Structure 1
Amino acid sequence: MSRLPEPRFDVAPIPRLKPDDLIALVSPASWSEDSWLVESVATVESWGFRARVGDHAADRLGYMAGSDSGRAADLNAAIRDPEVRAILTLRGGCGSLRLLADVDTEALRADPKPIIGYSDITALHQLWHRAGVPSVHGAVAGAHARTVQRLLVGERGEPVRSDRGQYGAELTTTGTVAGPLFGGNLEMLARSVGVVDNDLDGHVLLLEINRAAGLGMVDRALTQLLLSGALAKVSGVAVGVLEGFEGYQDRGWTVLDVLHDRLGSLGVPVLAGLPLGHLESPVSVPLGVECALDADAGTLLLAPLTD
C-alpha cells in the first residue's frame, strides 16, 4: 500500500512551524531531571525555534511535577497563547489523567497546535483527538529526535518499519488497511474508559505496552477496551515495543499469548515489532492523521501532521 486515502474525519488544520516560532515546554505529568530540561531547550533552539519553559515545569510534588493546578495552568497558558505553535511535554510518568477536566479544549479548537509526548501523555492525546487536533506520539530523544522537527515543519514522517528481530514482532498477521492512527499507552487508554469518549471507528489502533505489572494487567486493560465497545470498529492494530516482557511468563503464558487471544478477536490486520514507545531512540509518529498499515510489507506509512 503506497498511497494514503483522503481523510475520513474532521481534522483541524495545523499551520507548519516557521523559523523562530515558539514551542512551549511543560510538565503535565512527572518531573524530569534538570539536565533533561536544559537539553530539551537546547534541542528545540537548535532546530531554529524559540523555547519557553512553563512557570511550573520544574516543580516537584512527590512523583509529579508540582500541583495539579500548576501543571494545568502551564498547559492552558500554552494552549491559549497564540504565539505558541507547539507544546512539548518533558516526560510522562504519572499525573496527566488528573488534568483532563481542566484543559481548555475550546481554546485548543480555536487555535489548533500539536502536543508532543507519549506514555502517560496518552491521556492528553485523547483530548486532542476528541478536539480534532493532530498530535505527536514520541519524544525529542535518541537517533530519531529530528523526526519531530520534520513533522512540525510539514514534512512527511519517516515510514515506520517493523523490526522482525524485536520481541513481539511475531504477532504480525497479514493484510493491508488504512485509516486515521490513534492510540498510545494501553494502560492509559483503558483507564480513560468512561472519562474520555474515544471514537476509534475506522481507526488504526496504536498500542505501546510496558510491563508495569504482570500479564493480568495487559489482559484486564485490553478486555476493558473490548467490553466497552471502544475497539469494535477499529480497522487495524499497530503494536510498538513490549518493554520488560522478554523472558517473562505466568503459568505457561507470555504477553504474546495474551495479545494473540485478545487482539485476535478483532479480526483485523496487526503489525507488530514497531520501534514505538519506551525505547532509547523511539520513532515519533503523528496521531489523528491518515495512515496506511501494510502487515505483509511490515510498514506503517503516515500522512503529514500539518497542512
Structure 2
Amino acid sequence: MQPLFPAKLKRGDKIRFVSPASTPDKASALKRADDLGRLGFDVDFGRHAFDEIDFYAGTHDERLADLNEAFRDPDVRAVFATRGGRGSYRIADRLDFSAVLRDPKPLLGFSDITALHMMLMRQCALVGVHGALYGDGNGALEPENLDILLSVLMQTGEFSFKSRQEEASSKLTTSGMAKGKLIGGNLETLSTMIGWGLPDLNGAILLIEAVDCMPGLTDRVLTLLIKSGCLNGIVGIAVGQFTLRNREKTEAIIDIVGDHISTLGVPILGGLPFGHGSGALTTPIGSAAILDADAGTLAVSY
C-alpha cells in the first residue's frame, strides 16, 4: 500500500486538540492552543478533552467519539493529541477509517498515540507525525522543534536528523545504510499492538523510543517483538531517546536494547532526538526514509 499523505496546512486552518488517552494538564493545553492561535491557526478542543475517569480522558466511547468527530469534520484540517499516557490502544481498532481515507489529516502525537499511528498505517497507510508541541522549559515552544513541526505540516520536502552523542542510545550505532518507510514510536506501545494493530514492517526502518521502561519490561517487550516474528523483515533500526527518572539504570537498559536488536543483523542508528527527553524533535512516520549509520543521519521524506 502506498503512503497516504495528508493535505498540507495553511494559516487560518482549524486544528483540533483531542485526548485519546489520558487527561492533560488543562493550563498547559490551553497555553499551547494560544501559541498556535498566535501563529495564525484556528484552534479548538474535543468536548471530552479535559474529562477525567481514572487515568483516561473520559470513557472509551467518549474519547473515540472526539477522535472520530475530528476526522469527520471537514473544517478540521489537523488533529493534535493533547498528550499520551494510557488508553489509545483501547480505541485504536474502532477509528472511522473510511473518514480518514476520504479526507486524510495529520495526526500529531507520540508515546501512547503510537497505537493510533500504527493502526492508521495498518488500515489506511496514513503518514503520521510523531512528536508534540514541546516546550523549552520556560513556558515557550522549543524553537527548533516548532520550525520542524511547521515545516512537516505545511511544506513538502526531506527532513534530516543527526545522531546526538549525548543521548545514551548513541552507543548502539553500528554501520551501514538502509532505505524504507520509517515506522514505529514508543517501544512499550508497539509491543501492545502485536498481533492486531501493527502495520506490515517488511522493508521498514523501525523507530523505537521509551520512557520509564525499566530493565525487566524492556527485556520482555523486545523479546515479544522479536520472537513474534513481526520484525523479521525490517531493514534498519532508528533508536531514539530512552528516558528514565532513575538515570542509573539507563546504561543497563541501553545494553539490553543492544543485546536484542543486534541479533536482527540490520544497520542501527542510535542517539536520535525522538522521544520524551530533552531537545526532542518531531518527525514524519510512515513515509520513505534513509538511515545512514556511518554518517549518523536519518533523512525522512514528507
C-alpha separation in 2, matches of 1:160 and 1:177: 15
Q: Does the 8 Å contact 1:147/1:157 carry over to 2?
A: no
- Looking at structure 1, the residues matched to 79 and 221 of structure 2 have their Cα atoms a distance apart, in angstroms, of 28
1:125-147 per-residue CA deviation (whole Å, 9 max, x = no partner) reads 11221111111000011321332
Which secondary structure state, in structure 1, belongs to the residue aligned with residue 125 of structure 2?
coil
Q: CA deviation at 1:13?
A: 3.2
Report Cα offsets for 1:208-266 as digits up to 9, x if no partner: 12223x312111111111111110010100001111163218xxx81122122210111
Q: What is the distance in 2 between the residues matched to 1:275 and 1:109?
A: 30
Which amino acid is the alignment partner of residue 134 of structure 1? Answer: V
Letter matched to residue 161 of structure 1? K
Secondary structure of the structure 1 residue equivalent to 2:35:
helix
Q: Does 1:98 align with 2:90?
A: yes
Structure 1 residue 158, shift from structure 2 partner: 4.1
- Aligned match of 1:169: 170
* Contact in 2 for aligned 1:167/1:246 (Cα 8 Å): no
Q: Check conservation: 1:20, 1:49, Cα contact below 8 A.
A: yes
Which residue is equivalent to 2:61? 69
Decide which of 56, 63, 66 is 2:48's aligned counterpart.
56
Following the alignment from structure 2 to structure 1, what is the Cα–Cα distance between the partners of residues 120 and 39?
24
- How far is 1:119 from its partner? 0.5
Distance in 1, matches of 2:19 and 2:30, equals 13
Query: Per-residue deviation at 1:112?
Result: 0.8
Residue 14 of structure 1 aligns with which residue? 6
Distance in 1 of aligned mates of 2:170 and 2:221: 20
State the distance in 2 between where 1:43 and 1:233 align.
41
Counterpart residue number, 2:138? none
Offset, 1:197: 4.0
Q: What's 1:153 paired with?
A: 154
List per-residue Cα deviations over 1:85-111 (Å, max 9, x = no partner): 110000001111111232111211111
Q: Among residues 69, 77, 81, which one is paired with 2:73 in the alignment?
A: 81
Which residue is equivalent to 1:29? Answer: 21
Distance in structure 2 (CA, Å) of the matches to 1:157 and 1:24: 26
The whole-number CA distance in structure 1 between the counterparts of 2:104 and 2:15 is 13
Q: Which of 126, 130, 138 is equivalent to 2:131?
A: 138
Name the counterpart of 1:239.
239
- Check conservation: 2:160, 2:297, Cα contact below 8 A: yes
Could you list the runs of 4 or more consecutive aligned residues of structure 1 that deviate by over 4 angstroms after TM superposition? none
**1:274 and 2:261 aligned:** no
Q: Equivalents in 1 of 2:270, 2:230: separation in Å?
A: 20
Question: Would you tell me which structure has more helix in proportion to its own residues?
Answer: 2
Distance, in Å, in 1 between the alignment partners of 2:184 and 2:207 is 4
| 2:176–2:267 Cα contact (<8 Å) kept | yes
- On the 8 A contact 2:242/2:277 being kept in 1, the answer is no
Q: CA deviation at 1:281?
A: 3.2
TM-score (ref. length: structure 1): 0.91
1:159-207 Cα deviation digits (max 9, x unpaired): 2111112212110000111111010011111111122142011111000
Residue type matched to 2:274 in 1?
Answer: L
Task: Name the amino acid aligned to 1:297.
Answer: A
Equivalent pair of 2:93/2:119 in contact (CA under 8 Å)? no
Which one scores higher on RCO, CA 8 angstroms, separation ≥ 6?
A: 1
Report how many aligned residue pairs link the two structures. 292
1 CA distance for matches of 2:196 and 2:107? Answer: 20
RMSD: 1.5
Q: In 2, distance between residues paired with 1:69 and 1:281?
A: 35
- Conserved in 1, the CA contact under 8 Å of 2:209 and 2:275? yes
- The amino acid of 1:236's aligned partner reads G
SS in 2 for 1:254: helix
Please say if 1:114 is aligned against 2:114: no
1:81: Cα distance to partner? 1.0
1:294 partnered with 2:298: no
* Aligned residue in 1 for 2:33: 41
- Conserved 8 A contact 2:187-2:209: yes
Which deviates further from its counterpart, 117-126 or 98-107?
Answer: 98-107
Q: What TM-score do the two structures reach when normalised by structure 2?
A: 0.92
Which residue pairs with 2:194 in the alignment? 193
Q: Percent of counterpart pairs with the same letter?
A: 38
1:156 CA drift (Å): 3.5
